[in-house]
Structure 1
Amino acid sequence: MKHKRLFTMVCLMYALFVFTPVSAQVDTVTVIHVNDSHSNLLPFADGGFGGIARMASVVGLWKMTEPNPVALHGGDFFVGSLMFNTYFGVPELQILNNIGFDALQLGNHEFDAGPEQLGGILAMAEIDSSFDIICSNALNTAAVPTLDSIIRPYAIETRGDLKIGIFGMTTPEANLISNPAPVFIDTNLVQIAFQQIQALKGEGCQVVIMLSHLGLALDMQLAGYLSGCDLIVGAHSHDLLQDILYINNIPIVQAGSYYHYAGKIRLVYDGNSTSVLDYTVQEITDQVPEEPTIAGILESLKLGVQAQYEPVIGDPYRTISYVSSDHYAYPQNLDRLDTPMGNLITAALYDYVPEADCAIEANGHLVEGIYTGPLTPADLFRTYSYGYDASDGLGFRLASFDIYGAELLGAMNALNGFIVPEFGYYDYLLQSCNLSFSLDMDGSGQLSLGEVTIGGQPVAPESTYTIASSDQVVGYLINLFGIEPQNLNIYPVSAYQVVLDYVARLDTVDFVSDGHNSVTPVEKADGNPVIVSSFELGSNYPNPFNPETTIPFKLDRAADVVLEVYSVTGQRVATLLSAYLPAGSYKIRWNGQSQAGFAVSSGIYLYRIRAGGQEFTRRMVLIR
């Protein structure tokens, strides 16, 4: 009887083993991420925030305590501090390597000095093979052997039985605002993303991550097309996402900039799919202890910065003035597009050039604000750091030039298409002194240039104006708009040093936003916003593009439709369509050629549709 009972129990156990579904193994991976550090290795805001030594303490703790950690940097470690201009990013790469970062995606600023120099800097850092430098949409890297031998389209990390695939994307804006040539940053983002996802799945990766240096708006747009991607770790737009943003069920995260924050997201793979367990963003403040070895390295690096720059600007870490309140660099609301930092920078440029009618600077060149308390030259350089001139190791040169009012108005109007208040994208917005403007916004969010005044008087198209700015803005006028400024004067002094000398004369830095630049909603006679209802003109894709782009539009009803391409100075380049069309959705391609069939040059172009008595215009960028 006892043997029979034992036999029955064995049979039952066998049946349970064979016929009961076995639970799939559950794996957790912890993705640690930072982005857009811009060589801000030292704490800022009088030591209150940031610092790579503090970041190392946070990341080191997470790597010791969290399951299967993978540490990622979203790119743009180049350009942004005197540390970079002294050491060119090499110490930062070495510190990231020693902390145990697994992958870094190239940002647009990594190409500022050219791909040959980038390849040399990456080689000089001598990072381990376990620290991958990735970029999936860089073409023609074989033309730069030093770079081609280092960067990869993707990285694969193994944690236990789990394979995590990471591919990277650089913003195609790099072709326009940086110097990647002969490398080209491909604009076919959707196609490349699908190719990388398929390649990583083919390598057996259960979890696929896009490490993106595209900016939040493009991340959101791209996520709408993707499948098979489990996470987008963002960068480029310096957005701080305290909570996960889901688009098409794909989580998107981003952790601000300058090592002010670090993010940590835990993913769970259940054998079939990946889901989010939780997400944390850690602010890095003076309450976080510094990792002592790295803190010691930073003190030695500071001595090198002082040795290089003291003959040029004095001790970079001395106090030169006091800031009465935090001065932000980017607009906080639409009725005050001018910012305290924009007003400070342009006031200094205007003061230096007595013959100038006004001063302007691109908002994207003012990368950071200054904080309440003592101000040092190194602090000020963080706000206005772009460019590099070997003569003094500083940035953009001061420039003055003459320009016709019509050219100024055309360039300003063309830039409106690249200003997206919804996402806080103001890089192409002008900050100004003695120049004021309003932007009209219709019900669809489209911006158009309203009134522009210089010295309180409306800008006259036929008049000539003398403008103080930086040599980089001059380059934009020439290369993007085909405008050749007259009486161009490139000063031997850097624009930063002009601002530094101006600030040193102030006991207190106390600039505010006064609203001389603003957005005005356009309303109909009944007080309601103007809403375009008879047709819809979509954004061209890809944008920027080479060699062709697609322009989508939709008609709510039949109409005569004219679709044309114009230069920013108002010259018609090509008529793409002139026909009577029934209601429906349409896609029209432009191959970057004029009406006569000649290839047009790189730059910003306008595409304009007229239908049903209404007109709509958008901007696109061609990069040869």
Structure 2
Amino acid sequence: MKLHRSNDKPVKSWAGLILVSLAVLGFVLFGACGVSKAQEQKRVTILHTNDMHSHFLASPNADYSPGSTGDDATIGGIARIATKVKEVRNARSSEGTPVLLLDGGDFSMGTLFHLLRGEAEMGIMNFLGYDAVVLGNHEFDLLPTATAEIVSHRGDIRVLATNLQVLDPTHPWGAAIQNVFDSGDILPWTTQTLSNGVKVGYFGILGESAWKDVNKPYGSALFPLGQRDRFQAAAEAVDRLRNEEGVDIVICLSHSGVNEPAYWTGEDVDLATQVPGIDVIVSGHTHTLIPTPVAVGKTTIVQAKSYTARLGILDLEYNEVAQKWDVLGYQSVLIDDTIPGDPDTIAEVEEYIDKINDDILEPLGHPLFADPAVETTFDLKGKYAVEHGLGNLVTDAIRWSVARALGDPNDPVVAAVESDGVIRSNILAGTTGIVQTSDAFEVVPLGVDPVSGKTGYPLVSFCMYGSELYQAAWVDTLAAFLQDSDLWISWSGVGFAYTDYLAPFIMWRCLNFDDPSCQARRRIGNDTSTLYRVALNYYVASNIERLEEISYGLLKVVPKDCATGLPLSSLDEAIVYKASGEPLLQWEGFLDYLASFPDADSDEIPDMQPRYSGPEGRIYRACIVASVAHGSPLSEKVGVLRSFRDRILLQHDWGRKFVDAYYSCGPQVAGWLEEHGWAKSLVRLLLLPLIGMAKIALLLSA
């Protein structure tokens, strides 16, 4: 027994030592292999952008200095985003967390970079290492053949379009998209396995509002592409990814958007509600800043403004108990001058700028990318549902360039119009006052000529009756009520006065282009006795049919041949051509108009005309009779009466009744005054006592 006991102890001792050694060795080995908390707990970080619209530089471009910090006030810039992407990747890599870089669509169309038709956008996104993008409506701006060209540059990027369908593969546009579907350059869904073993499933949705905005030059009936029901397409994609592909997380890249300012409502919220099983929706289209993620059931929705102004950073961890991906943290990073631009990305962008200069601008005879187009001491900014200097500048450029191309003084361009939805950028003076060619292009960058395929909306010209001009102007009086910025129309060559929600009670045409206040003018009759030549871009003209739609048939405008008065069979007949035989593109006409401005300070740079620093009284909500009598709604005396109306009369029941009575008969009086100019002086004299009493009442009420 003693011998047995004495032999037993050493055996146990050696066994224990071996076990301890193995445990230590295992700890060291597994520790060296780096099994991190992120791998054990399934973590993923999503970086996201949307609606970049080729804005790889910040505006104004002359102020943008990505190579340094603390010296400009610009917002945006892809080189700054690249720096932030690298910073996040490095930080998460040390934790073992994989990082995805995704985009919610409309990555192209908006700056001179898109003249390269996807080469710059896809090239730069590949350079940053984007994993997946969805096609937005603006990826179709240059027609589906160009969409196919854009995605041909995709490199390693997954391009998604789940509910896009080809209706007519025999049509050249349909065939182009079918070919990139067949080649796998556009995918209905796809997967990606990350470094920590998490399998990601992607699909992409183009929303209903975005689909309406797709450029269809000959109307929806003749367009060879269509849109499947987004809920059904999404549900099928989720089912495929979860049940057949066995993914751990489903990410929808959705160019649908949310409402603003109520970002917790809208198409993407509806999508999350109707289609359970989506873990994350990276949203786009509405250019919305969602400050904190929107949660709909187990779905998280994010969107990061537009124009490279923001980068979203979404940290996720899988919750085994709740069977959902929890948000660990979220940042919507403002891309400003506190972030230095990545030097390699700066160099990459410069290479594309050189290509644009060498291959496009210089051969066309235009100033180069960074050349001054004009200098300004003030900003020109759009403002919703009111006349603004930027809209006046754009429409004046249309009227001027079309009149120059047509060259017939006996057939003048009476009116030019532009929708605010097509004016894509403000003009900013910045610290230098220099507006570069690239900045000016961004104001009206969109579109394509459907006949020649050249980039940019062609300008068109046709005739309308006076009554149709009144109907088109009625849209402006409804714009504030309808809350749709695309419906607000800026005008050149004509002006009108209106009362809320009613058709203009008077319109006039300006007889002298260089008369900002339109002192020399003639009334336009609200009838079909006279045809007036108008000018606009192809896209706005092709959407004239929307007038009838939004007015439930009340408003209808039919483009007509100015020589015969007969309706045009196609808008292609109205395209304006230059003497060279090339179509007159809007962006080229805009640059030429700026170049025509005088150089007051002799520095060889045209100067922005002071008239565009604010409204000129082309469109006004009337103090009707007083405005006509004083010649302008901007008159100081008219301003007194307007303030008296708003601050005194409208605050009392009796005052509101008086205003209603005034507006019921005022248009007739104003119209009579326009036709009998001699009476304006008498009315101005009669209004003086009323203006004096209004001033006293305003002082007493202050």
Structure 1 length as normaliser, TM-score? 0.69
The alignment status of 1:178 with 2:241, answered yes or no, reads no
Matched to 2:594, the amino acid is: V
Aligned partner (choices 26, 48, 55) of residue 40 of structure 1: 55
Q: Residue 387 of structure 2 aligns to a residue in which SS?
A: coil
Matched to 1:361, the amino acid is: E
Instruction: Pick closer, same or farther for the CA change 1:286–1:419 going to 2, 3 Å.
Output: same
Is the Cα–Cα contact under 8 Å of residues 371 and 437 in structure 2 kept in the other structure? Answer: yes
Query: Which residue of the partner structure matches residue 549 of structure 1?
Result: none
Offset at 1:471?
2.9
Structure 1 residues 464-475: aligned runs within 5 Å: 464-475=531-542
Structure 1 residues 487-502: aligned runs within 5 Å: 487=562, 488=574, 490-492=576-578, 493-502=584-593
Instruction: Pick closer, same or farther for the CA change 1:376–1:170 going to 2, 3 Å.
Output: same
Offset at 1:461?
4.0
Instruction: Pick closer, same or farther for the CA change 1:219–1:459 going to 2, 3 Å.
Output: farther
Offset at 1:37?
1.8
Aligned partner (choices 185, 189, 203) of residue 154 of structure 1: 189
Paired with 2:335 and 2:224, the residues of 1 have a C-alpha distance of 36
Query: Which residue of the partner structure matches residue 392 of structure 2?
Result: 343
Q: Deviations over 1:110-132 (max 9, x none)?
A: 12233333223322x2502xx21
The alignment status of 1:54 with 2:80, answered yes or no, reads yes
Is the Cα–Cα contact under 8 Å of residues 166 and 224 in structure 2 kept in the other structure? Answer: yes
Query: Which residue of the partner structure matches residue 289 of structure 2?
Result: 240
Paired with 2:163 and 2:652, the residues of 1 have a C-alpha distance of 49
Matched to 2:215, the amino acid is: S
Query: Which residue of the partner structure matches residue 567 of structure 1?
Result: none
More strand by share: 1
Offset at 1:361?
0.8
Query: Which residue of the partner structure matches residue 507 of structure 1?
Result: 607
Is the Cα–Cα contact under 8 Å of residues 52 and 259 in structure 1 kept in the other structure? Answer: yes
Query: Which residue of the partner structure matches residue 252 of structure 1?
Result: 301
Aligned residues: 490
Q: Residue 383 of structure 1 aligns to a residue in which SS?
A: coil
Matched to 2:329, the amino acid is: D
Matched to 1:345, the amino acid is: V
Query: Which residue of the partner structure matches residue 118 of structure 2?
Result: 89
Structure 2 length as normaliser, TM-score? 0.62
Paired with 1:95 and 1:282, the residues of 2 have a C-alpha distance of 20
Q: Residue 463 of structure 2 aligns to a residue in which SS?
A: strand
Query: Which residue of the partner structure matches residue 127 of structure 1?
Result: 155
Aligned partner (choices 358, 373, 380) of residue 327 of structure 1: 380
Paired with 2:371 and 2:46, the residues of 1 have a C-alpha distance of 39
Q: Residue 76 of structure 1 aligns to a residue in which SS?
A: coil
Matched to 2:437, the amino acid is: P
* RMSD, matched Cα: 3.7
Offset at 1:309?
0.8
Paired with 2:233 and 2:499, the residues of 1 have a C-alpha distance of 36
Is the Cα–Cα contact under 8 Å of residues 368 and 383 in structure 1 kept in the other structure? Answer: yes
The alignment status of 1:401 with 2:467, answered yes or no, reads no
More helix by share: 2
Query: Which residue of the partner structure matches residue 46 of structure 2?
Result: 31
Query: Which residue of the partner structure matches residue 205 of structure 1?
Result: 247
Offset at 1:330?
5.4
Is the Cα–Cα contact under 8 Å of residues 373 and 440 in structure 2 kept in the other structure? Answer: no
Query: Which residue of the partner structure matches residue 100 of structure 1?
Result: 129
- The structure that has the greater radius of gyration is 2
Unaligned runs of at least 5 residues, structure 1: 1-23, 442-447, 530-624
Query: Which residue of the partner structure matches residue 608 of structure 1?
Result: none
Paired with 2:240 and 2:499, the residues of 1 have a C-alpha distance of 46
Q: Residue 151 of structure 1 aligns to a residue in which SS?
A: coil
Compare 39-48 and 258-267 and name the one that shifted more: 39-48
Q: Residue 348 of structure 1 aligns to a residue in which SS?
A: helix
Offset at 1:146?
2.7
Paired with 1:330 and 1:102, the residues of 2 have a C-alpha distance of 37
Instruction: Pick closer, same or farther for the CA change 1:77–1:196 going to 2, 3 Å.
Output: same
Is the Cα–Cα contact under 8 Å of residues 418 and 428 in structure 1 kept in the other structure? Answer: yes
Query: Which residue of the partner structure matches residue 442 of structure 2?
Result: 382
Matched to 1:91, the amino acid is: A
Is the Cα–Cα contact under 8 Å of residues 503 and 509 in structure 1 kept in the other structure? Answer: no
Paired with 2:475 and 2:76, the residues of 1 have a C-alpha distance of 37
Query: Which residue of the partner structure matches residue 289 of structure 1?
Result: 340
Paired with 2:621 and 2:98, the residues of 1 have a C-alpha distance of 48
Instruction: Pick closer, same or farther for the CA change 1:292–1:247 going to 2, 3 Å.
Output: same
Compare 268-277 and 353-362 and name the one that shifted more: 353-362
Is the Cα–Cα contact under 8 Å of residues 380 and 390 in structure 2 kept in the other structure? Answer: yes
Is the Cα–Cα contact under 8 Å of residues 318 and 376 in structure 1 kept in the other structure? Answer: yes
Offset at 1:438?
5.6
Unaligned runs of at least 5 residues, structure 2: 1-38, 65-73, 170-174, 260-266, 404-408, 510-520, 549-556, 563-573, 579-583, 598-605, 623-645, 657-702
Offset at 1:524?
14
Instruction: Pick closer, same or farther for the CA change 1:60–1:358 going to 2, 3 Å.
Output: same
Q: Residue 345 of structure 2 aligns to a residue in which SS?
A: helix
The alignment status of 1:309 with 2:361, answered yes or no, reads yes
Is the Cα–Cα contact under 8 Å of residues 142 and 453 in structure 2 kept in the other structure? Answer: no
Matched to 2:607, the amino acid is: D
